[in-house]
Every structure is written in C-alpha cells, then in structure tokens.
Amino acid sequence: MTRWRLTVEYDGGPFMGWQRQDHGPSVQQAIEDALSRMTGETCAVHAAGRTDAGVHALAMAAHADIAKPLTPHRLREGLNALVRPHPVSILAAEPVAHDWHARFSCVGRRYLYRILNRRAPPALDRGRVWHVAVPLDADAMAEGARMLVGRHDFTTFRSVHCQSDSPVKTLDRFDVRRAGDEIHIEAAARSFLHHQVRSMVGCLALVGRGQWQPDDMRRALEAVDRSALGLNAPPDGLYFVEAVYPDA
Amino acid sequence: MTRWRLTVEYDGGPFMGWQRQDHGPSVQQAIEDALSRMTGETCAVHAAGRTDAGVHALAMAAHADIAKPLTPHRLREGLNALVRPHPVSILAAEPVAHDWHARFSCVGRRYLYRILNRRAPPALDRGRVWHVAVPLDADAMAEGARMLVGRHDFTTFRSVHCQSDSPVKTLDRFDVRRAGDEIHIEAAARSFLHHQVRSMVGCLALVGRGQWQPDDMRRALEAVDRSALGLNAPPDGLYFVEAVYPDA
C-alpha cells in the first residue's frame, strides 16, 4: 500500500463542493470514481480543505492509499484521462510517508479572492469572479483588512455550520490590491473557520463601497457576534491556492 | 440616427464565430437581437474583426446605427441585461462620427495567444488555452517569431477561405514570452489574413518542440506556399485584444 499525495486544480462551478454528497456531484467523488476505475480498489481521497459549492482550487492538496503498484507519471496521466469530462486536473502525484495526511499534516492554507470591479458583467470570467459594479476603494479595504490580521476570536466571521473546535484562529496575511479591473484579496492562516474568507471579504466590500469605515472591521471582529456580520461574498471568486506542509 | 461605438468582451466557446450564420449562434446575432429588443429597430452591428468559432475577445470594437435616443449608460446597461445568457459583455458604448467604421477605420489589430504548457490538462481554463503537454522552448519560439516581423507575402499562413485582396501584410509585432506554466504570444498588425495568427502560432509550436529550427519559420514564409504550413493552432487560445483607431 502506497500513500499518494495529489495536487489538484478544479473549477468549482459544477460541483456541490469538495466533499462527497448524496444529492449532487463533488470533486471528491469525481476523483474517487476515477481512482476506482483505474485500480479496481475502493479509495478514499482526503483533502487539505473542504471547499464549498462553487469554490475553485488552483492547487488543492489531497492524499489516497493505493495498493496497486503505480509510477507518479501513470497515476497522474491515468487519473486525468479517467476524471473527464469533470473540470478536474491532477497537476502532480507523488508517494509520501504513511503518516502524511493532507488535512492533519497541513500547517498553512492560502486563498485568493477575485472581485471584478467594473460596470460591465464578466463574459470570460463568469463564475470565476465576484462582480461588483460600484467602484470600490481598494486602499480603504486594505486598511480594513489589516485590522483582522493576528490571533483573534473570529466568531463574527463563522458560519453556523462550522465544525471547528475553537473560533480562535491566527490570520497570518490578509492583503488587498488592485490589479486592473480586479481587486485581489489574499488570505493565509494555519486554518480557517467555515465561510471565514467569504465573510471577511463580504465585509471588506462594504468598506470598499464606503458603507463601512475601515475601523468597522475591528468593531465587527470585537463584537464576537455573527449578527455583526455584514455580507457573505459569493463562492465564485474564491480559489484555494496552496496547502503548506512542514517539509515542503 | 446616432452611430455608436461598442467595446465588447466575449467567450467564443459557444459561438460559430463573430459573424451571423444560418446554422448556429454568433456574437453578432446575440448583440443584434438584444439591440432590436431594446430599440424596436433592426440594427446591423459591424466589428473590427470577424473572429472564428471558439475565438475570444477581450475588447472587440464594433458599431451600430440607432435612431432611438439613448445615453451611453442606458445603451450599455440595457444591452448587458438583454444579451444574457450569452457570454457577451458590453464594456463601453460611446457616440462616434457618422463616418467612423469599426472595420474600415481600424488601423491596428492586436491578438493574444495563450498556450498552457504543462503535463496536466487545464481544469479552470478549459476552452481558454491551447494545451501543449510536451515542454516548449520559448526562447527558440521567440527567435522563430522574429523571422516573420515586417512586410511580407504571408501566403503560407493564409486559409483557403481568406477573402483579403492581397496576401502582403505588415506584421508589426510578434512576441513570445513565458508566463509561469503558460506561453503568451502577442501579434500586432494593421490587419491579418484569415487564420494567419493561428497558422503562425502552430508553426511556432513546432519550433518550441524542436521539430522545426527557428530558421524554418523564415523558410516557410519564403516558400509562399500553403503546403509549407506546419500546423494550425486551435481557436481556444486566441483572444482579440484591441482595435486601434487614428484618434484613439
């Protein structure tokens, strides 16, 4: 039995999310089904993050245990052939130690959020960005974002469905920058609460519109109260960018 | 009657191309139908370039004559509401002189070609890039591209369906650069022959693979013979980027 680390890109649009569901397609199921057809084994695939419906990944980390002898090349090429027509691509496959775990060994997660900030709706990036038609003040958003960096109780930015033991997390990075017509928001932490990035981005958009002052981000945080939440940003603009591991 | 200049972004994937066809959807028809519903008039829309099936546009220039009085804001917003669900977005609408013509006034056209050069197929950019799995030598491609810059008879790189009066064109720019996993090729000229960019890019890919030497680009050009053509690159990676006008 070999434990394989997989690096996976996917378009979250057609999926109910990463995790296998009874009521619709999931990224996990797409990969597990392709693996079963390839190996004849029943393989469970575990990921560093369980992204929601519509959330994309540039490089999700995952692992699976496979008995059949395979080379990295054959595993990657075979999976990519069998996972079609799902918009999922295995970027890399490599053998790892048996105690390596995509979720529990992960010490850092990085997300990107893309806002398309122009009057006209997206044609090419439909489903890949959050379209905000009113002009946003990226500098004010950056100032608001800085209020959340550090170790805090993020209860305000937590979904009711969150299964995390504690609402206390350390946000290592939360940067906002304008890139042409887009505003890019990068968030990095050891781990995030459910809906945390989308909740924080939704509030930042209120700051960008001038409905909130940058300091209102701090007030919302310090309220430690979900009813202080302004707005949850849609999944379309969210990308899982990177999972960090100790030896990587 | 006002002549309006429109700037249009579109995803070429679901269309037979820019130009209205009897046998399938076109970008032209999508915009003309939306205009008719908005104004009650029969409006013809003319574009700077008639892109092929599957070719995208970041900012196609077009024009239409409309009798109904409109503001730029109302025209753009109304068209964007009515053109749905087609992946077409009107970025800008502005009144222009009656003798301004999107196609005949245009003095420069710029295209981008995106090659995804990695083993794994695209998940997020499916239909938006040409996937070439074998490693390409971008430096050799850049050297080959330089052989085509200038005023030449481009018969080798011309489709049999080309309606241009002359195969002699001046290629102002033809640049190749690596951008991470991608290779970006930019082409600029006053005008191009039918399939010219895709034909030139297809040959450059042969250079990138080492099947052609950079100098074979010059030999193909000097052959002035379509049978010297190596390979036509698929439409997926091609984007109309910009139309240039004298006063712009």
Best interface-test mutation with B: which of A10, A89, A182, A238 has the largest number of B CBs within 10 A? Answer: A89
What is the phi/psi pair of residue B34, to 5°?
A: -65, -40
CA A153, distance to chain mean position in Å, is 20
The sign one gets for the Cα dihedral A162, A164, A165, A168 is: negative
Q: Catalytic annotation on B52? A: yes
A9/B97 Cα distance (integer angstroms): 48
In this prediction the ipTM stands at: 0.90
- Annotated catalytic residue, options B52, B165, B236, B247: B52
Say yes or no: domain B2-96 is CATH 3.30.70.20.
no
| Distances A29 to A60, A76, A77 between C-alpha atoms, Å | 15, 17, 18
Answer whether residue B159 shows pLDDT above 90. Answer: no
Residue A8 CB coordination number (10 Å): 28
Q: Could you say which of A11, A22, A33, A52 is catalytic?
A: A52
Distance CA A170, CA A67 (A): 38
Provide the shortest C-alpha distance from residue B84 to chain A (in Å).
Answer: 10
SS3 A128: coil
Q: What is the pLDDT of residue A45?
A: 97
Q: Look up residue B152 and give its two tokens.
A: 């030449």
The answer, yes or no, to whether residue B59 has pLDDT greater than 70, is yes
Cα A13 to its chain centre, rounded Å, is 13
Per-residue pLDDT band at A165 (split at 50, 70, 90): confident
- C-alpha to C-alpha distance for B61 and B51, rounded to whole angstroms: 12
Model confidence at A248, pLDDT cuts 50, 70, 90, reads low
- What is A108-244's CATH topology? Alpha-Beta Plaits (3.30.70)
Q: What is the pLDDT of residue A112?
A: 98
Strand A168-179 relative to strand B238-244, pairing? unpaired
Question: CB-based burial of residue A107 (10 Å sphere; 0-12 exposed, 13-18 middle, 19+ buried)?
Answer: exposed
> Which residue does chain B place closest to A55, by CA atoms?
B124
Report the candidate in B143, B146, B121, B141 with the shortest Cα–Cα distance to residue B131.
B121
Residues of A with CB under 8 A from a CB of B: 9-11, 56, 58, 76-77, 80, 87-92, 118-124, 126, 128
> Average pLDDT of chain A?
95
DSSP chain B: -EEEEEEEEE--TTSSBSS--SSS--HHHHHHHHHHHHHSS----EES--PBTT-EEEEEEEEEEE-S---HHHHHHHHHHHHTTSSEEEEEEEEE-TT--TTTS--EEEEEEEEE-SSSPPSTTTTTSEE--S---HHHHHHHHHTT-EEEE-GGG--TT---S-SEEEEEEEEEEEETTEEEEEEEES---TTHHHHHHHHHHHHHHTSS-THHHHHHHHHT-GGG---PPPGGGEEEEEEE-TT-
Nearest to A200 by CA among A139, A143, A241, A154: A154
Q: Which of A92, A118, A123 sits opposite B88 (nearest CB)?
A: A123
A164, pLDDT greater than 90 = no
* Ranges of CATH 3.30.70.660 domains, chain A: 108-244
**Residue B29, pLDDT above cutoff 70:** yes
Mean pLDDT of chain B: 95
Q: Taking residues B169-182, what's their average pLDDT?
A: 97
Chain centroid to CA A21:
18
Asked if pLDDT for residue B140 goes beyond 80, the answer is: yes
Cβ–Cβ under 8 Å, residues B30 and B83: yes
Evaluate if residue A190 carries a pLDDT over 90.
yes
User: Which of the four pLDDT bands, split at 50, 70 and 90, describes residue B93?
Assistant: very high
Q: How far apart are CA B103 and CA B112, in angstroms?
A: 19
Inter-chain contact B76–A11, Cβ cutoff 8 Å?
A: no
